[in-house]
Structure 1
Amino acid sequence: MVIESILGTLNLNGETGSWRIAVSGRTVEPGLEHIRIAMETAAPAPPPRLLLEWRVPLTEMHFCWHPAGGFNRKIPADWTAALHSDLATSAPVLLLGSQSGENRLLFAVSEAMRPVKIKAGVHEETCEAACSVELFTCPEAPIAAYELLLRLDIRPLFYAEAIREAFGWLASFPEYEAAAVPPAAYEPFYSSWYSFHQNLFAPELERECALAARYGMKGVIIDDGWQTDDNRRGYAFCGDWEISERRFPDMRAHVERVHRLGMKYLVWFSVPFMGDRSRNRERFGGKFLYRLEELGTAVLDPRFPEVREFLISTYEKALVQWDIDGFKLDFIDSFRFDGEDPAVREDYAGRDLRSLPEAVNLLLSETRSRLERIKPGILIEFRQSYIGPAIRKYGNLFRVGDCPGDFLSNRLGVIDLRLTSGDTAVHSDMLEWNSRDTVENAALQLLNVIFSVPQISVRLADLPEEHREMLKFWLDFMHVHQEVLLHGKLTPYHPELNYPLVVAETETEMVIAVYGGDLAVPVPPRPGKCCWIINGSGSGRLLLELPLPVRQAVCFDAAGRQSPGAPPVAGLSRVRLPKSGLLGIQF
Structure 2
Amino acid sequence: MIPAMTLSTTRPVTTAELPSARYEPLVDGVRIAVLTHAPGVGARWTVCELGDGLALLEIRTDGGPAPTEVRMSVPLGDAAGYWHPGAGWERTLVADWAGRSRVSLVDGTAAGCLYDHDGRTRLTFAVADPVPETDVVFGVSEENDTHVVHLHLAPAPDGGPRRVLLARSAPTVATALRGLRQWFAAQPQCAPMPVPDSAQAPVYSTWYAFNQRVDAASVEAEARVAASLGCEVLILDDGWQKYGSGRGYAGCGDWRPDPTTFPDFAAHVSAVRAQGLRYLAWVAPLLLGPDADCAERLTPYAPAPAGVPGAQVLDPRRPEVRDHVISLCTRLVADHGLDGLKIDFLDEAMAYRGDGAYAHHEGTDIDDVGRAMTVLLTDLRTALEELRPDGGLLLELRQPYVGPGMAPFGNMLRSFDCPGDATGNRVRTLDTALLAVGGAVHGDMLLWDRDAPAHAVARQLIGSLHCVPQISVRLTELSGEHRETLAFWLAEWRRLRPVLLHGDVESGRPDELYTLVTAARGRACVTTVHSDRIVPVDTTAYDDITLVNGTASDRVVIEVTGGQRPLRMTVRDERGRIIDDCERSPAPGLHIVSVPRSGLVALRVTEGTV
Q: TM-score, normalised by structure 1?
A: 0.93
2:124 corresponds to which residue?
106
Shift of 1:134: 2.1
The CA distance in 2 between the partners of 1:492 and 1:393, in whole Å, is 26
Question: Which shifted more, 365-374 or 547-556?
Answer: 547-556
Question: Taking structure 1 as reference, are residues 343 and 429 closer, same or farther at Cα in structure 2, changes over 3 Å only?
Answer: closer
CA contact (8 A) 2:113 2:124 kept: yes
2:14 corresponds to which residue?
none
The CA distance in 2 between the partners of 1:126 and 1:18, in whole Å, is 30
CA contact (8 A) 2:91 2:510 kept: yes
Question: Which shifted more, 560-569 or 358-367?
Answer: 560-569
2:217 corresponds to which residue?
203
CA RMSD of aligned residues (A): 2.3
The Cα offsets for residues 506-539 of structure 1, whole Å up to 9 and x where unpaired, read as 224221111112x111101247722111111111
From 436, 439, 446, the equivalent of 1:431 is 446
Question: Taking structure 1 as reference, are residues 268 and 303 closer, same or farther at Cα in structure 2, changes over 3 Å only?
Answer: same
From 43, 47, 50, the equivalent of 1:25 is 47
2:492 corresponds to which residue?
477
Question: Taking structure 1 as reference, are residues 395 and 436 closer, same or farther at Cα in structure 2, changes over 3 Å only?
Answer: same
1:277 corresponds to which residue?
291
Question: Taking structure 1 as reference, are residues 462 and 286 closer, same or farther at Cα in structure 2, changes over 3 Å only?
Answer: same
Q: Percent identity?
A: 32
Secondary structure at the counterpart of residue 67 of structure 1: coil
The CA distance in 2 between the partners of 1:502 and 1:488, in whole Å, is 12
The Cα offsets for residues 126-162 of structure 1, whole Å up to 9 and x where unpaired, read as 32112211234xxx9x967353112333323432111
Matching of residue 299 in structure 1 with residue 321 in structure 2: no
Question: Taking structure 1 as reference, are residues 420 and 340 closer, same or farther at Cα in structure 2, changes over 3 Å only?
Answer: closer
Matching of residue 387 in structure 1 with residue 402 in structure 2: yes
The equivalences for 1:490-501 within 5 A come to 490-501=505-516
Question: Which shifted more, 540-549 or 574-583?
Answer: 540-549
From 352, 362, 381, the equivalent of 2:375 is 362
The CA distance in 2 between the partners of 1:360 and 1:312, in whole Å, is 12
Secondary structure at the counterpart of residue 430 of structure 1: coil
Shift of 1:474: 0.5
Question: Taking structure 1 as reference, are residues 550 and 485 closer, same or farther at Cα in structure 2, changes over 3 Å only?
Answer: same
From 568, 571, 575, the equivalent of 2:593 is 575
Question: Taking structure 1 as reference, are residues 58 and 172 closer, same or farther at Cα in structure 2, changes over 3 Å only?
Answer: same
Secondary structure at the counterpart of residue 281 of structure 2: strand
Question: Which shifted more, 213-222 or 335-344?
Answer: 335-344
Shift of 1:274: 1.2
Secondary structure at the counterpart of residue 99 of structure 2: coil
> Gapped runs of 5+ residues in structure 2?
1-20, 606-610
**Aligned partner letter, 2:183:** W
Secondary structure at the counterpart of residue 59 of structure 1: coil
The CA distance in 1 between the partners of 2:244 and 2:542, in whole Å, is 58
Shift of 1:27: 3.3
Shift of 1:231: 2.2
Question: Taking structure 1 as reference, are residues 284 and 514 closer, same or farther at Cα in structure 2, changes over 3 Å only?
Answer: same
> Gapped runs of 5+ residues in structure 1?
none
The CA distance in 2 between the partners of 1:177 and 1:294, in whole Å, is 32
The equivalences for 1:244-263 within 5 A come to 244-263=258-277
Shift of 1:244: 0.4
Shift of 1:434: 0.4
CA contact (8 A) 2:132 2:370 kept: yes
The aligned length equals: 575
The CA distance in 2 between the partners of 1:282 and 1:480, in whole Å, is 52
The CA distance in 1 between the partners of 2:500 and 2:168, in whole Å, is 30
Matching of residue 226 in structure 1 with residue 240 in structure 2: yes
Shift of 1:385: 0.9
Shift of 1:467: 0.7
2:280 corresponds to which residue?
266
Matching of residue 84 in structure 1 with residue 102 in structure 2: yes
Shift of 1:229: 4.5
Question: Which shifted more, 312-321 or 80-89?
Answer: 80-89
The CA distance in 2 between the partners of 1:472 and 1:55, in whole Å, is 51
1:130 corresponds to which residue?
148
The equivalences for 1:33-72 within 5 A come to 33-39=55-61, 48=67, 50-72=68-90
Secondary structure at the counterpart of residue 328 of structure 1: strand
Question: Taking structure 1 as reference, are residues 149 and 230 closer, same or farther at Cα in structure 2, changes over 3 Å only?
Answer: closer
Shift of 1:552: 1.1
The CA distance in 2 between the partners of 1:66 and 1:183, in whole Å, is 30
Secondary structure at the counterpart of residue 377 of structure 2: helix
Question: Taking structure 1 as reference, are residues 448 and 310 closer, same or farther at Cα in structure 2, changes over 3 Å only?
Answer: same
The CA distance in 2 between the partners of 1:62 and 1:189, in whole Å, is 37
Shift of 1:372: 0.8
The CA distance in 1 between the partners of 2:534 and 2:445, in whole Å, is 31
The CA distance in 2 between the partners of 1:32 and 1:503, in whole Å, is 24
CA contact (8 A) 1:39 1:145 kept: no
From 567, 590, 594, the equivalent of 1:551 is 567
CA contact (8 A) 1:9 1:54 kept: yes
CA contact (8 A) 1:550 1:585 kept: no
The CA distance in 1 between the partners of 2:294 and 2:40, in whole Å, is 44
